[in-house]
Amino acid sequence: MAEKAASGPKPQRSMTFLAVTLEESGLLGSAYFGAHPLIPLNKIVGGINIDALQPAGPSKDVVVIGYGASQLEDTLGAVLKEKGRVMGPDPEPQAGYFYRSDHVELAKKGVPMLYIDSGVDLVTGGKEAGMKLGEDYCTNAYHSPKDEFHDDWDFSGMADDINVDYEVASRIANSTAWPEWYKGNEFKAIREASLKGQ
């Protein structure tokens, strides 16, 4: 994604790509960036978190962790519509994934963040196959020694998802819009106060 951005036409806005460390130790890398940003937080228009993608092949959908949070979802929806895909909410909101991944450190500072995960409605096998693969991963591999590379992984769906991420980021970088948190979101007031300091 960064290579594509660097090799393509220069966007109107700068794009920053972060690879942060120590998420599993308490989001320490992203927390450090949030406390010591290279760019003033009120100058960051928004962000996309790419945490984990499923190597299960192409899907008809993507999952938005923390669904219903910000206008970044409007841009995502437009991109997906053009690609004949849809978005849906996290099927396990009770797991609190929105608060357990690196983007939340910027969200807590008011920066609108979008966390897009792989979909569950697989082109081959549908929702039943997607849910089964997700449940199998969480039960048998997640945070265990079995969570490792396998030769039979299908990366085509991951490539589709990264292209969606890129297109959303590119549209934001080539606009003058400032996506906002939706009304009622817990981070909205923090963002509004931050922008007053511009």
Single-letter residue type at 83? K
Instruction: Quote the pTM value.
Output: 0.92
Domain limits, the chain = 2-193
pLDDT in tens, 134-191: 888 888 888 889 888 889 999 999 999 999 999 999 999 999 999 999 999 999 999 9
Percentage above 90 pLDDT, the chain: 68
Which residue in 25, 27, 70, 26 sits closest to 45, CA to CA? 70
Tokens for 89? 């909410």
Contacts of 54 (CB under 8 A, 6+ apart): 117, 118, 130, 133, 134, 137, 157, 158
DSSP conformation letters of 158-196: HHHHHHHHHHHHHHHHTS-----BPTT-TTHHHHHHHHH
Find out whether 121 and 127 touch, Cβ atoms under 8 Å: yes
Q: Classify domain 2-193 at the CATH topology level.
A: Aminopeptidase (3.40.630)
pLDDT in tens, 128-146: 999 898 888 888 888 889 8
